[in-house]
Amino acid sequence: MIAVEGSSLRAVGWARTLPLDSEVKSARDWARGHLEGLDWTTTAPETVDAVLLTVSELVTNAHRHAHSSAQLVMTCDDHCLHVSVHDKSAVLPTPREASTDRLGGRGMFLVDAVADTWESHLCRHGKSVSACFHVPDAGPRAAEPSVPPRD
């Protein structure tokens, strides 16, 4: 857990390098394992599914299009879960509509559909693609104690 001095912001994060010959399933399993430690994931399975789909798509894109290993980073604060993948390609992704003429090309279209926001930017040794998912409420909160009215 990281705390920002002078702020109520709290964040937790994880990082993993995925070699080019690694299975995308291992990235999903790794991400799922870390998501299970967050208190909101049991009440928001659709968000967990969206995060895991995004991990799959971003790591697949890094391996397939950049022909490089991928660095997968997940961070979570009180507002967002961020999924970022860095690879060695300087070509930024763009969402494309599905086509019956080709098998692939839908990854960023899917990420665009399931993430609250996403962005990509060039960096010194390639690019980073990040998606943000708003953190759902962890579930019902304990009710404030009620004060009985005075007679």
For the stretch 48-99, pLDDT in tens is: 999 999 999 999 999 999 999 999 999 998 889 999 999 999 999 987 676 6
| Domains of the chain (ranges, CATH numbers) | 6-134 (3.30.565.10)
How do residues 122-140 score in pLDDT, each as one tens digit?
A: 999 999 999 999 998 744 4
What pTM value is reported for the model?
A: 0.81
Instruction: Tell me the per-residue pLDDT of 13-37, one tens digit each, with 9 for 90 and over.
Output: 999 999 999 999 999 999 999 999 9
Helix axes 45-65, 24-35, angle to 10 degrees: 150
Torsion sign, CA atoms 10, 110, 25, 129? negative
Residue 132: CB atoms within 10 Å:
18
Is the Cβ–Cβ distance between 115 and 131 less than 8 Å? Answer: yes
CA geometry: angle at 43 spanning 42 and 49, to 5°?
Answer: 70
Please, are residues 62 and 106 in contact by the beta-carbon 8 Å criterion? no
Task: Determine the length of the chain.
Answer: 151
